[in-house]
Copies of this chain bind each other. A is one copy, B any other.
Amino acid sequence: MNDHSLTGELLLLKTRRPDTRNELRREALRLFAERGYAAVSMRDIAEAVGVRQGAIYNHFAGKQDLLAALMIEHMETLILALDEALSGESGPIARLQAFVRFHVGYHIDKPDDVFIAYMELRNLEPEGRERVHALRNRYEAVLRDVLAEGLRNGAFRGPDAAVQARALIAMMTGVTVWYREGGRLGRRDVIESYVQITLQSVGIDYPIGGED
């Protein structure tokens, strides 16, 4: 009885704080993006959060599970946000413009999430990799469909919707490499620059004159 009560008190002082899981996620994300998955140790992550290494295993099954959680949750958030961003838009021109604004804005705001989802796919074990791959294809398909519709109805020009979708996504994602807050161009300028380049790339004048 006495023993039991003492144990209970000790556990109360030392056991899971509610926000530790989120702090682990955040610091793991930051460190993985900075140095790469393989170059970050569980001890590095624990130290950044202020716990001991073993404590991580109260929240995640292991290092691999932590990476998978970061990548899958990111992709699901991204796709939900995209759906919302395009929900009010109709017609290929308006939808393409909305896609670019969303994609570039999101990538400016969450560069670490995006970077990891792109770079660490090869470090994911097959199960997680398949899931992330499928989510990525769904995302790409949204842009491909917009482009295909524009090519079909004559609003856009281009060689191939699939190639153009991949080309444009790579182009826009690249913003994470060079954009820095407080630089020569602000967030809004950068987004509008990509809108112009993208619309021109499908053969549309920008600013839009009197098309479609």
* Residues of chain B contacted by A94 (CB below 8 angstroms): none
| Chain A binding surface, main DSSP class | helix
Stretch at the interface among A57-65, A68-76, A189-197: A189-197
Q: Chain B residues near A123 (CB, 8 Å)?
A: 35-36, 39
**Are B166 and A178 interface neighbours, CB within 8 A?**
yes
A192: which B residues are within 8 A, CB to CB?
A: 159
In contact, A167 and B171 (Cβ under 8 angstroms): yes
Of B171, B178, B198, B200, which contacts A202 at CB under 8 A? B200
Question: Does A157 reach chain B (CB closer than 8 Å)?
Answer: yes
Which of B36, B159, B160, B169 is close to A122, meaning CB atoms less than 8 Å apart?
B36
Supply 18 further A-B pairs (C-beta < 8 A) apart from A166-B178, A167-B197, A171-B171. A35-B122, A35-B123, A36-B36, A36-B38, A36-B122, A38-B38, A39-B123, A119-B119, A158-B197, A159-B189, A159-B192, A160-B185, A166-B177, A170-B171, A170-B174, A170-B177, A201-B201, A203-B205
Q: Closest 8 interchain pairs by CB?
A: A170-B174, A171-B171, A201-B201, A38-B38, A159-B193, A38-B39, A163-B193, A167-B171
